[in-house]
Amino acid sequence: MSGSLDLSSARKQLQDTLGDDMTAYLQNLKLWFKQKISKEDFDLEARKLLTENTVHLHNEFLLAIMSRCQSLSTSLVPRESSVSGRVSEQSRIKQKSKLRRKSTSSRSTLQKFVPSNPVNFAPLATYKGGEEINFATRELAVPDISMVQGRMLVCAWETGLEDVSDTAVKLIMHAIENQLKNIISQVLSKRSGYKVREKKFKYAMGTQVLNPYLRHTSQIDDTSTESEATSITANALHIPCRKPPFDIGSAQAAEQLSTAQFPASKGPVTLFELLETLQLYRSSIASHSVYAPAIERVIHKLWHPSREEINQEHIHHQEVTIKQLHSQSVIR
């Protein structure tokens, strides 16, 4: 049975069991994806909605989601040689057979909820970067395709849709990369100089701006700003354009550097520059429902707690830890 069928059947069984409480369950699932609640809190809320005989559907549903997301991430790994591909395929088949035997035996013997981490039972996957995938907020990286697919599945179920196709997930990933590329280009073009080819395409980010107060600045001819396929000769004939020789190109680059302004070295891009760019180019994020939270998060990150607030937060965490240890000792 494929991953989509397993996920659909697991969700249908859970939805038939929960009924109207499925909305609350999906809301808790979304909060766990956003790291607003822990895995233990999510399991606790799920046990409140389910009975002892049906709480095992909660684990089966989470296993199906993770298997589905990992299957899409492994499909994007580039293929290796035929020998290694055959070996990996054989090991993958053996692993699937072991997982099927283990799942059938566990379903027949275990009918009650056992607290466990579903990641331990998910099939192993070779990710695109070969590194262990963690939360995007901790790694400060772009969300991977498995994380995006998980978010899209929850949003689709909330709106009444049954499933999300792999093509839609890949399109969303391309849209995210294109959106980030546009924002980064606007930030860099605002803080540094750049060149424009054919009055449209920005390139050579970080190029120094020519000094307009020098006499021969206006006489400098930059051949890299135009890309013409042909040129017209004296006999009115079209011939292919030739690139300038190396010595001419080096002379033009030296002349441009001699007339350029060299400001002080700039550090990395700051949140102040990002906030100013988003406020200046409001069309960079077309959706207002995405633009407003982005501005709020940038402004929130600009705030830093004082030393007294950090100490109070540390004391609060110590008190919470002491209370948890005391409650565990009382239960024992």
**Which pLDDT value is given to residue 127?**
44
The structure's pTM equals: 0.52
**Which pLDDT value is given to residue 158?**
77
Cβ proximity of 194 and 242 under 8 Å: no
- Token code pair at residue 31: 């909060």
**Which pLDDT value is given to residue 142?**
74
**Which pLDDT value is given to residue 279?**
92
**Which pLDDT value is given to residue 88?**
56
Which amino acid belongs to residue 15? Q
**Which pLDDT value is given to residue 229?**
66
Q: What is the mean pLDDT of the chain?
A: 75
What residues of the chain score a pLDDT lower than 70? 1-5, 72-140, 223-229, 262-265, 330-332
